[in-house]
Structure 1
Amino acid sequence: MTTDMRHEGRTALVTGGSRGIGRAISRRLAREGALVAVHYGHDETAAERTVGEITAEGGRAFAVRAELGVAGDAVTLWEAFDRALAEQDAGPGQGTGLDILVNNAGITVPRPIAHVTEEDYDRVFAINTKAPFFIIQHGLDRLRDGGRIVNISSVATRVGFPAIVSYTMTKAALDYLTLSLATELGPRGITVNSVAPGFTETEINPTLSVPEIRQRYSDASVFGRLGQPADIADVVSFVASDDARWVTGQWMDASGGVHIGV
């Protein structure tokens, strides 16, 4: 367990914070002192498990439910956040604002363009791109000056990967949002960055159960292994910290060197 409390006194919201990469991010930020809002859409059991793990490690967290990809999702999320935060015992300097927003929630559509339906397309954009846009929009009056926005992108936006074309398009749009927001929010001392995982051991990728595919993904990294959620969480923690105060508008490869070799 880390003894670095660089997020002490801060409040964080992690969308999709109950499972996979989001769970690892929630736990890492909490271990370093943040009060973490663990957002979930449907799986209350997973959210409560993550909150329980954080509490058992001496951290502080609470669950926030809001289905993303539906009308009014951002408003619903922030209303739930405000209610739940008001019930917490605020630590020194915390109050009712927000310091760290991690847009992690997302889905994938593992189909090439010929097999993507309009319903698939609309849903993946609604959750992966539209929801973060309006979550940020409605969260700006809660985000304190000097705050951090971290958008979880994908290394797939830098290579041709036809099997997940619609998913990759949503992440590319998020990358532009990162660049634009970094320019707009800089005067407030708010940094905005994208962190881009590669092939990572999470349930979002069911193909990892196929040994041949699993091996191919592992071989794509210069380290010869799949990424772990903690690998990504460590990078997010840095980007969200004061150590990264001079880093903004950046796309940060957290893929383990996927596709940089020959």
Structure 2
Amino acid sequence: MTRLTIAAALAAGMPIFAACAQEAPSLMSPIPSAGKAAPAEKAKGGRNKVSAGRGVEFRLGRDNGADTAVDPTKTASVATPAASSAAPRVRPRVKATARKETIGLPESTPDVVAHESQGSPGSYDTIIARYALTYGVPVPLAHAVIRVESNYRAGARGSAGEIGLMQIKPATARMMGYGGSVKGLFDPETNVRYGMKYLAMAHDLGRGDTCGTILRYNAGHAARRMNPVSAAYCAKVKRHLAGG
């Protein structure tokens, strides 16, 4: 049938596409699609927007005068996530500060506030010798420590709360068994009793070594490494032991 139609058209001198028009309806039969195509609508800029079904849209651009479909997933116009376009968060810098807090240890360099005139070593010889011998501390070492700590001033008080002849802190005295008031530590015998007990433990931990003893009395029983403050303290003690 088609051949007869074409032959007739040629005989009549008509263009060949006139015959093809007979079959145009069959060539333009709809192609099955996943969804119903929406009619083209005008978008901004004079371009047509065509829906391809399933919520996917293609825009028609111009390529040498011809409309071309533009896949939005393959162009730079695809929207970037909001997080990437937002300005980056700037976390404020917080200056870290380290706070060193010591509890109950006579670890600072002796910094004494005098409440009376300089004491006399002879005034406390008996008390010092008694408790030094009781706890096993060499008497000369006990005198040297007291001289550095308070210079024999029973009413002396350190800037960090150290009290009395041996500049013992109330918390340290309680660790040694003291159960009285802070004021009671100004009593010379009470002060020497608990201060000497702490010094004796430092002496044992330092194995009798002078600077090992001073390190643990000054920086705490747990101290193992010499520090500049304790080293200066030990130098003073050695000077006093040598008669200086």
Please give the range of the TM-score, normalised by the shorter of the 2 chains: under 0.3
Structure label with greater radius of gyration? 2
- Name which structure has the greater RCO, CA cutoff 8 Å, separation 6+: 1
TM-score (norm 2): 0.22
